[in-house]
Amino acid sequence: MLTVAGLLTAAPRADAATTPAPTPTCETGAVVCDLFSRTQAKNWGIADVGGAWVGSSAAVLSADGGAGLIASPAPGRTSTATLPSPVPADTVTTVDVDVRELPATGSGLYLSTATRIVGDSSYAVSLRVQPDGTTELDLIRLKNLTSAQVLTSKRLPMKTEAGDQRRIAFQVTGSSIVTLSAKIWAPADAEPTTWTVTTTDTSSSRITDAGRTGLALYSSSGGTAPALAVDAFMVATVGGAQQPQEPQEPQQPQEPQQPQQPETPTGTTFPRGDTGAPALGSVNYPVPATAVHVARTGSDANDGTAARPVQSITAALRKVPSGGTIVVHKGSYHEDIIVPPQKRVTIQPAAGDEVWLDGAEAVSGWRAEGGMWVKDGWTLALDASPTFTKGAADGTAPGWQFVNPAHPMAAHPDQVWVGGVQLTEVATRALVKPGTFFVDKGRAQLVIGSDPSGTPVEASTLTSALSLRSAGTVVRGIGVRRYATSVPQMGTVTVAAADVTVADVVIRDNSTTGLYTWSPRTTLDRVSVIGNGLLGAGAATADGLRVHRMLSSGNNTEQFNRAPVSGALKIGRSRDVEVTDSAFLDNLGQGPWFDESTYDITFTGNDVVGNTGNGAVFELSEKALIADNVVSDNALSGIYVIDTGNAQIWNNTAVGNQRNIAVTQDKRRASNTSTAGHDPRQPNPDPTVPWITRNTVLVNNVVGDASGDCLVCVEDYSKTFSGAQMVSRSDGNLYSRPTGTAPTWFGVWSRAGVDNPAVTNTLVAFRTATGQDASSVLVEGRAVVDEHYQVLGAALPAPRDGAPPGASIAQSIPATVAVDSHLTSGARVLGAQPR
């Protein structure tokens, strides 16, 4: 029987009558451990072991020196915090929970401790606490850490009171039969010898792979959203002989009084649509008879047939003719691949095979030295230039310094994993402790603080995975991971030729940028860029770029400064760009960012949630359709339009951001030819992109729960343009706020030539002052969207003649908007629509 006592202990609250438990410590063998002994106003920072936490919203996470605090952004919403690196598949997770305040109303709080987070799926144990203290422990399968399928549920005999502490242990083992077990007890009490609840999963939806770990907190709609405190979060591996003690009788699921997560509207999921690459090994592409085959068991001296495959993709490129196909069989390939000009190829996996290009390789020969472990003869020299110019020093001007001084090793691309857990690089040998490493160039040593005994150690030793230099090349169905790419190299995967397609590809855990293109008509379809050190993907001079169904999540793990570049996706100096039906979630920086004279942007059908910078940024650009997007819980502005003209902003749901939609202007003008940001391929200045915010249209948007100072935010910091010059139309919008003074103002409206903008406190006052928003509605004191960002009909005026909720508010959607989105021409609907 596996117990967690001895691995982790934590003290009870001060008024407990029992003997205090020892102070918690991270014990040897933990692959993840966080004691939250730091103080942070936003986010949870870096775990003691396991890397940097990635939160769905910085504003609802903090650390007070003794615990990590997590709260839902609002009733009916979910907050998440995950760690970027995968942990082994068979693990036991423990966490201490302090219920400092019970929910006042509603169906309760649900704290889910999740593991095997693979794609959008995970397993979790969920602690549910109702307003009367009734407590349940549920074993569930989660989608996107929000929607739950309850596998089994048990109501606990004890009730929870405000201030109670609970310790939860959650074990997951197996693959053909996945066994889930959980137990709960007071930290000062003896650990139970049996599991409180257990079940098995043999369904086709079972999760068998190792994945990430994390926490999610949901506060029911119609209730309150008090914070919970968590501490002593630890993940340890489970040995094959360690099995839970099964109950004598199988437990039958109890019918919960309320759903584990709120009711999902029919046909609605979040994120909407099918974003990101399919599971590697699940695709099946046609294979031409003339294809060149690659297998780990092959030989580069072979002819490349299915019966006699070559061993490397590089060798296959020498054999395949232009227009041919390379079929790669299962396994990891430690290669740096260049597709040369004039050799158009397709690279794809064999049917059902999981294929990775892996920049890391095993490192052995460790010796112990003073609480550290040393690999002698480590001569790998990697470029740590902090900017896009090799050898150049970092910038010093505001907005032009890449490396955050709080994270001085960000630009160093070295990466090390012990037992599949990524270590954090430190600047000196003296700073090495468990979970960290140091490259001692003077002694030619690699030094780690985690014991490598009996567990694999891997380090990134290659810097580039794929350089695609031939027009028309297709790469699909494979994964790319763990390359030590430097900032000046631009990307682990680079596109340097026209008409290249990258589809169904996962690019993750690389040291800086996952993918970069500077070539016309690049297509990125169902590409997942996850956990890369600086940026998920980027583009410049990429006219005709098409990004469809991308998943960009958890990027900027090295915590570079937000500007000049970091986060999900940055596109600059490009024309005719489409980013559609994609999800940009929980990046430690900006969400999608269009900058530096990008012209003719289509940004529709996307979900932009939980990024620690702005959500979607349109800067120094011109002509943008921004429609049918969910933009929520980003730490700064949701939709941020700055120095960008002719933005059509229709049917977006922008809630829970600082400023949900910010329309702004600063002193920069394209007429100043020396200001950075011009497209060198165009005239300077370019009359089509003057960098002036004008003719903005704001219609049918749902805007609410802003943490900033305004619901309608139109400002010119250069004091040149009026609000009427910047925004030509605003109407049919649904605004909401919890009280009449939160945020402080309803509207902020620029006044030309005047130091301060005009401010109004109500929609009526704003309408009178500006002539805008004639049909718009302001709702105060109640939520207007559910946890899937769909409008709650109960919050709106009663519809007439069977019309959908909000039809009396919304304006008719024009054909010019509908043609490039999922919206229907002529429809009168509010906000982003379900798929």
Indicate which CATH number applies to the domain containing 47: 2.60.120.200
Whether 482 has a pLDDT exceeding 60, the answer reads yes
CA pair distance 242, 223, nearest whole angstrom: 41
Q: Which domain holds residue 163?
A: 31-237
The confidence score (pLDDT) of residue 798 equals: 65
Q: Which of 22-36, 404-418, 570-584, 740-754 has the lowest mean pLDDT?
A: 22-36
Whether 795 has a pLDDT exceeding 80, the answer reads no
Whether 803 has a pLDDT exceeding 80, the answer reads no
Whether 280 has a pLDDT exceeding 50, the answer reads yes
The confidence score (pLDDT) of residue 811 equals: 97
The confidence score (pLDDT) of residue 269 equals: 54
% of the chain beyond a pLDDT of 90:
72
Mean pLDDT over residues 169-194, rounded?
Answer: 92
Instruction: Give residue-wise pLDDT tens across range 490-525.
Output: 999 999 999 999 999 999 999 999 999 999 999 999
Residues with Cβ within 8 Å of residue 254, at least 6 apart in sequence: 153, 154, 155
577, part of any domain: no
Higher pLDDT: 676 or 103? It is 676
- State pTM to two decimals: 0.77
pLDDT band at 255 (very low <50, low <70, confident <90, very high): very low
515, part of any domain: no
The confidence score (pLDDT) of residue 23 equals: 65
Whether 355 has a pLDDT exceeding 50, the answer reads yes
The confidence score (pLDDT) of residue 354 equals: 95
CA pair distance 158, 148, nearest whole angstrom: 24
The confidence score (pLDDT) of residue 202 equals: 86
Mean pLDDT over residues 369-389, rounded?
Answer: 97
Higher pLDDT: 458 or 250? It is 458
Q: Provide the H-helix boundaries in 244-395.
A: 313-319
The confidence score (pLDDT) of residue 66 equals: 86
Token pair for 68: 């990590």
The confidence score (pLDDT) of residue 246 equals: 34
259, part of any domain: no
Round the CA-based radius of gyration of the chain to a whole number and report it.
Answer: 27
449, part of any domain: no
pLDDT band at 19 (very low <50, low <70, confident <90, very high): very low
Whether 243 has a pLDDT exceeding 50, the answer reads no
244, part of any domain: no
% of the chain beyond a pLDDT of 70:
91
Whether 785 has a pLDDT exceeding 70, the answer reads yes
Whether 252 has a pLDDT exceeding 60, the answer reads no
The confidence score (pLDDT) of residue 293 equals: 98
Q: Which of 135-144, 438-447, 677-686, 810-819 has the lowest mean pLDDT?
A: 135-144
Domain boundary among 202, 237, 272: 237
543, part of any domain: no
Whether 831 has a pLDDT exceeding 80, the answer reads yes
Higher pLDDT: 783 or 730? It is 730
Q: Could you count the other beta carbons within 10 Å of the beta carbon of residue 614?
A: 29
CA distances from 82 to 87, 213, 499, 536, 585 (A): 12, 6, 36, 17, 12
Hey, which residues does 578 pair with through a beta bridge? 546, 602
pLDDT band at 606 (very low <50, low <70, confident <90, very high): very high
Domain boundary among 220, 237, 254: 237
Domain boundary among 237, 266, 291: 237
751, part of any domain: yes
Mean pLDDT over residues 190-218, rounded?
Answer: 90
**What is the count of structural domains for the chain?**
2
The confidence score (pLDDT) of residue 158 equals: 82
Residues with Cβ within 8 Å of residue 776, at least 6 apart in sequence: 730, 731, 732, 733, 734, 735, 763, 767, 809
Specify whether the CB–CB gap between 507 and 492 falls below 8 A. yes
CA pair distance 210, 207, nearest whole angstrom: 9
Instruction: Give residue-wise pLDDT tens across range 662-703.
Output: 999 999 999 999 999 999 999 999 999 999 999 999 999 999
Instruction: Give residue-wise pLDDT tens across range 53-92.
Output: 888 765 678 888 889 999 887 776 788 899 977 899 999 9
Q: Which of 127-131, 222-226, 273-277, 503-507 has the lowest mean pLDDT?
A: 222-226
362, part of any domain: no
Question: What ranges make up the beta strands (E) of 563-644?
Answer: 567-572, 575-580, 583-585, 590-595, 599-604, 607-609, 616-619, 622-627, 630-632, 639-642
Instruction: Give residue-wise pLDDT tens across range 301-353.
Output: 999 999 999 999 999 999 999 999 999 999 999 999 999 999 999 999 999 99
Whether 756 has a pLDDT exceeding 80, the answer reads yes
CA pair distance 129, 225, nearest whole angstrom: 12
Whether 24 has a pLDDT exceeding 80, the answer reads no
Average pLDDT, the chain: 89
Mean pLDDT over residues 610-629, rounded?
Answer: 96
pLDDT band at 594 (very low <50, low <70, confident <90, very high): very high
CA pair distance 98, 376, nearest whole angstrom: 46
The confidence score (pLDDT) of residue 245 equals: 34
The confidence score (pLDDT) of residue 223 equals: 65
